[in-house]
Amino acid sequence: MRLDFAKKAVALGLGLALLAGCGGTEQAPDGPVELSFWAWAPDIDKVVDKWNADHPDVKVVVSKQAQGDDLVTKLLTSAKGGNPPDLAQVEFQALPTLVSNDVLADISEGAGAARDKFAPGIWDQVTLGGSGVYAVPQDSGPMMFYYRADLFEQYGLKVPTTWDEYAQTARDLRAKASDKFLGTFSSNDPGWFAGLVQQAGGSWWSVDGDAWKVSVDDAATRKVAGYWSGLVAEGVVDKSPMYTPEWNKALNDGTQIGWLSAVWAPGVLKGNAESTSGKWAMAPMPQWDASAPRTGNWGGSTTAVTSGSKKQKAATEFAVWLNTDPTAVEALVTESAIYPAATSAQEALTKPPAFFPNQPDFYTQAAKIAATSSGFTWGPNVNVTYTAYKNAMGEAITAGADLAPALTKMQTATVDDMKANGFTVSG
C-alpha cells in the first residue's frame, strides 16, 4: 500500500512538473500574467508586494540574485539558453554589454515618456546615446567619503577636502596609530576605481561615428593610478581587497577608519559593521580641484526588460511603475535603502539613513553631491576591462605597487577583445 502511494505521489509530482514546464512557455489568454524579476536590492520583494496588491492581473515574482557581475553572467547564459526572466535589475555599466548581446528589449514605446523624471545624465545611460530605451533607471551611486567621526576627533584629524589633504591625513593617522588605515586600494573592485576615474574626468569609452574609441589608460586614469601607487608604496593606505571577512572586521574594530564609497554605503556599513552605528559621518569626496567639485558614480542600477520575454508590455509597465511611481520609489528608499534615480524622489528624502542618526542633513548633502556627478560612457565589454583590472591590479600590488602597467594591460585586454569580436575600434 505504501509503495503504491509513493508511486502515485511520484507520478503526480512528475505530471505537475510537466504542466508547470508548459505553463512557463505558454501564456493563458485571459488568466493573470506572471512576470519573473531577477533582482538583488534588499527587501525588494516588499516593494513588489505593493504592485501585486494593486494589480491582480499582473503578478510579479521576485527571484533573489547575486549582485553585479554574477547577475550579468547569469543573464547572458539564460538568454543564450532561451529562458531569461522577464525583468532584471541591471547595473548601468552592464547595459551596453547586455544590449550588444541582444539580451535587453528596446522599451522606448512604453518607457520613453518617463524621460523627464530623471536627470539627463542618468537618462543618457539607459539610451546609450541612441534612440532606443533599454532600461528604466532605478538608483544612482554618487561617491562620497565616509569616516569614523569619533576616531577622527580622537586622533585630531581634519576631514580631507582635496586628494593632497587625503594623503596627508592618511600619513598623520599612521603616525598616530600605526595599526590603522584611512582606506584601502582594492584590486577587487573595478567599479570603485572607475568611479574615482570619473571624478578625475576620465572616460574609458566613446563613440566616434560607427567606431568605438577606448581610452582606459587616458591621462585622468593615469593620474588616479599614479596617486594611489604612491600611497600604496608609502604604506599609508592598506592594499587588501574590500568585501572580505578581513575588511569587515577592519570596519568593525576601527582598523579602517575611512571608506571612499557611494551613497548606498550606510546599508553596507549596517550589514558589515553594525556595532559602529552613529559613529560614521559622510562628507564630499576629496577633490582634485577644490574650486570645481566633482564626483563619480560607483554602481547604480536600472530595471530592464529582456528581449526574450513574451510579456514585454506588462513588464515595461511594471519597470516604469517601480522607478517613477511615488509610493513605489518611497518604498524602494525605505525598504531597500537605495538612493532613487528619479529627481523628484531625491528631493523628497528628508530623514537620514537609520545608521546615520548623527547626520540629519545626510540626504540634503547627498543631493548636492549627486548634482556634481560626471558623465561616463560605458563600452560593450566592461566585464573584460573589469576582469583585467582585478588580475592586473592584484599582480601590480603584490609586485610592488606601480599601478601604471596595469592600466596598459587593461587597455590592451579591452581593445583586443573588441577587435577579436569584430568591433570597429578607432584610436
Partner 1 sequence: MTSIRMSGRGGAAPKVAPYAFVAPAVVLFVLLFALPIGYTVYLSLFRTEVKGLGLGRGSRSEVFVGLDNYVRAITDAELGAGALRVLGYGAILVPTMLGLALVFALLLDEDRVRARGFSRIAIFLPYAIPGVIASLLWGFLYLPATSPFNQLLAELSLPGVNLLSPTGIYFALANIAVWGGVGYNMVVLYTALRSIPRDLYEAARIDGCSPWQVAVRIKIPLLAPALVLTSLFSIIATLQVFAEPMTLAPLTNSLSRTWTPLMKVYQDAFGRGDIYSAAATSVLIAVVMFAISFSLLRVTRSRAFGGER
Three-state DSSP class for residue 335: helix
C-beta closer to partner 1: residue 76 or 119: 76
Q: Which of 8, 80, 158, 176 binds partner 1 (CB under 8 A)?
A: 80
| The residue to which cell 503578478 is assigned | 59
Write the single-letter amino acid at 2: R
Give yes or no for residue 416 binding partner 1 (CB under 8 A): no
d(CA 367, CA 345): 10
Minimum distance from residue 94 beta carbon to partner 1 (Å) = 11
Cell digits of residue 128: 546609450
User: Which of the ranges 118-126, 165-173, 240-248, 370-378 carries the binding residues for partner 1, by CB under 8 A?
Assistant: 240-248
Minimum distance from residue 417 beta carbon to partner 1 (Å) = 6
DSSP single-letter state for residue 374: P
Minimum distance from residue 241 beta carbon to partner 1 (Å) = 6
Give yes or no for residue 289 binding partner 1 (CB under 8 A): no
Cell digits of residue 305: 526588460
Write the single-letter amino acid at 88: A
Give yes or no for residue 412 binding partner 1 (CB under 8 A): no
Three-state DSSP class for residue 41: coil
User: Which of the ranges 8-16, 107-115, 217-225, 395-403 carries the binding residues for partner 1, by CB under 8 A?
Assistant: 395-403
Minimum distance from residue 85 beta carbon to partner 1 (Å) = 17
User: Which of the ranges 54-62, 271-279, 350-358, 390-398 carries the binding residues for partner 1, by CB under 8 A?
Assistant: 390-398
Q: Which of 158, 249, 351, 368 binds partner 1 (CB under 8 A)?
A: 249
d(CA 247, CA 269): 11
d(CA 276, CA 39): 28
d(CA 346, CA 323): 12
| The residue to which cell 577587487 is assigned | 188
Give yes or no for residue 385 binding partner 1 (CB under 8 A): no
DSSP single-letter state for residue 286: P
Q: Which of 38, 193, 212, 288 binds partner 1 (CB under 8 A)?
A: 212
Closest by CA to 189, choosing from 241, 237, 261, is 241
Residue 117: enclosing H or E segment and its boundaries?
Answer: none
Minimum distance from residue 56 beta carbon to partner 1 (Å) = 34
Three-state DSSP class for residue 143: strand
**Size of the residue set binding partner 1 (CB under 8 A):** 50
Sites of contact with partner 1 (CB under 8 A):
69, 73, 76-77, 80, 96-97, 99-102, 106, 128, 130, 132, 187-188, 207, 210-212, 239-241, 243-246, 249-250, 255, 307, 380-381, 383-384, 387, 390-391, 393-395, 397-398, 417, 420-424
